[in-house]
Amino acid sequence: MATSAEQVEERTTVRHYKIQYPISAYTFPREALIHEVGFDDEYMHVALTDGRTLSVPLWWIPTLHNAAPEERTKCEISRDRTMLIWDPDKCAINDEVRIADYLGPIGNLPTESGRVDAVPSSQPQA
């Protein structure tokens, strides 16, 4: 049985666009420093010094989720501006929140036993 295959030539049009702004015109944050923090019934809103605002669901942080609203506001910003600290001598909460933990994906997560497991993939594995 003989088969013949036709070769089809496809042409792709390449478009070139003028770049409106040089790379130096863009802002790429190098660090995340806390400017101020606020709370509503569902979120902790952290304003960063570079203009970003990070809103973290309170249920992600059980000590804050289960605390009274007036206790949540009794936090202090660390000297290096990277953590929020609730001092148990000043309020009913005893916790520290590193803002970097909420800024992007991390490669590995510690389990309750302290062992580090890979983050589960959203795609099924073969």
Q: What is the mean pLDDT of the chain?
A: 84
Q: Closest Cα partner for 73 from 47, 55, 93?
A: 93
Whether residue 25 lies inside any domain: the answer is no
**CATH (domain of 84):** 3.30.2020.40
Segment 36-95, tens digit of pLDDT: 999 999 999 999 999 999 999 999 999 999 999 999 999 999 999 999 999 999 999 999
Tell me whether residue 70 is in a domain.
Answer: yes
User: Looking at the 3D structure of the chain, how many domains does it have?
Assistant: 1
Distance CA(74)–CA(115), nearest Å, equals 33
Note down the domain range covering 50: 31-103
Please report whether residue 109 resides in a domain. no
Residue 44's pLDDT is what? 97
Distance separating alpha carbons of residues 35 and 53, to the nearest angstrom? 10
Taking alpha carbons only, the member of 97, 41, 94 closest to residue 70 is 41
What pLDDT does 17 receive? 86
The CA distance from 12 to 101, in Å, is: 44
